[in-house]
A and B are shown apart, each in its own frame.
Chain A
Amino acid sequence: MNGIIDLSVLQVALAYIFVLITLAIVRIRGIRREKELIISSIRMTLQLILAGYALVYIFDYPSPLITAAIVLLMEAFAIYTIFSKFKAKLSSPLKRVIAFSMTLGTLSCLLYFLLVVVRITPWYSPQYFIPLAGMVVGNSMTGIALGVKSLLEGMTTQRALVEEALILGATPQAAAKSIINNTFDAAILPTINSMVGMGIVFLPGMMTGQILSGVAPTTAIAYQIAIMLGILGAVALTVIIMLQLGYRTFFNKEAQLNP
């Protein structure tokens, strides 16, 4: 297959019939979701149109500054999403730990992946940098969010056990060890599960996109395997950095639990 069938505006418009079907279902069932459905459909359309034109411009005029700015914007958005998910439950030191571990964990994996594994030229090539950064940052964000949830729950429900461990002469790290390990497990499990189902239960988005655009399936698969491993590494790294620094925010310098 050479190239891809270009979709005309009319063809895209025909796809909106799926929105109409969903609207009809919620209206008939009396489920109050029409407004959100319409707004989210419009938002999705506008955001993607804007992103499309932005990418056309960025690909035409590649610049290290613009690539770096976009990746940093993604990081900022991901960190903001995690903060808003937990609202008041996050202490300021824990927020700093989340921001630091997201940035360090994803950037180090992303740079290794692009410069050592794929070896892109120029090093800031937006065509590779931006979509792959999106996947690495997005998956790490999910991992960190799960990790933070499990860490907060563990430090709340098992507070008495942690306190007893401290009384018995444990270091804060030893006292929080089982919570840290359970949290790492909870955060990394979805990534492990998605690897198990890959290629059988579903074909991942990146691979599907590459195949649609005419890339040989074998090449698409090679990319998919590599990015999946990159995502695994990024999730593991961001979560473990977050945990190793994050558990400390629950203790003061006298090895007592913060109130």
Chain B
Amino acid sequence: MALFEFSEVKFKDLLDLPALAIEKERITTLVGPSGSGKTTILKLLNKMLSPTGGRIMFNGADLGRVNPVVHRRQVAMLSQSPVIFEGTIRDNLQIGLKFQEKDLPDDTVLLEILERVKLLKPLDSAAQTLSGGEKQRLALGRVLLLDAAVYLLDEPSAALDDQTEELIIEMINAHVRAAKKSLVMVTHSKAIAEEYSDTIIKIINGGRRWQEA
């Protein structure tokens, strides 16, 4: 059974996907020109958007009938330009767990996450003063802490330099493989897509043309 299965999915006039399957415990990357609907697909996958036509199945269940909040707790998404909340780095790491009414981990766990996302800053420093790339890694750390079964990452390395980008993607790849998670990632980088993906899906013109590589 596929993790996600699209049939005749439409979203306004932005997306028209007759069929698409995303497999469980695999790394799937979505590539394609900007404006082709990649971000729309991710938002459909975690129910921040609902299709205006057709149906998406998640683990064999109709996504239209699934509780959206429960679903988002299993399918964690990192948006392309994530919002950083007021407060410290610690506050921002914990806020997702607070929203999900989960127990808060102690500082050693938080520091370990910071190390994994290569953000070596004290937990008490103000989050708003971080650079764009640092904010993106903080938001990635926040999402990884949620320990969801499925990760949806929208350009997780867009604001990073080449060297950090490689370290971060390598870390995500290792984590997803070791913990048997599923990952759907949007990326602009052909090299990343080819090196790490099990499946590459190229979306062109709102999905009216798409191909599996």
Contact = CB atoms under 8 A, between A and B. Distances in A.
26 contacts: A160-B83, A163-B48, A163-B83, A164-B83, A164-B85, A165-B99, A166-B72, A167-B79, A168-B72, A168-B76, A168-B95, A168-B100, A168-B142, A168-B143, A168-B146, A169-B72, A169-B96, A170-B69, A171-B69, A171-B99, A174-B99, A254-B47, A254-B68, A255-B69, A255-B72, A256-B47
A86 B136 CA distance: 38
Interface in B109-129: none
A161 interface: yes
A175 interface: yes
B73 interface: yes
A168 B143 CA distance: 8
Interface string B120-163: 00000000000000000000001100100000000000000000
Q: Tell me which of A163, A165, A167, A168 has the highest count of chain B C-beta atoms within 10 A of its own C-beta.
A: A168
Contacts of B72: 166-169, 255
Contacts, number: 54
Interface residues of B, number: 22
B54 interface: no
Nearest to A167: B77
Interface of A: 160-161, 163-171, 174-175, 254-256
Interface of B: 46-50, 68-69, 72-73, 76-77, 79, 82-83, 85, 95-96, 99-100, 142-143, 146
Contacts of A255: 47, 68-69, 72
Nearest to A158: B83
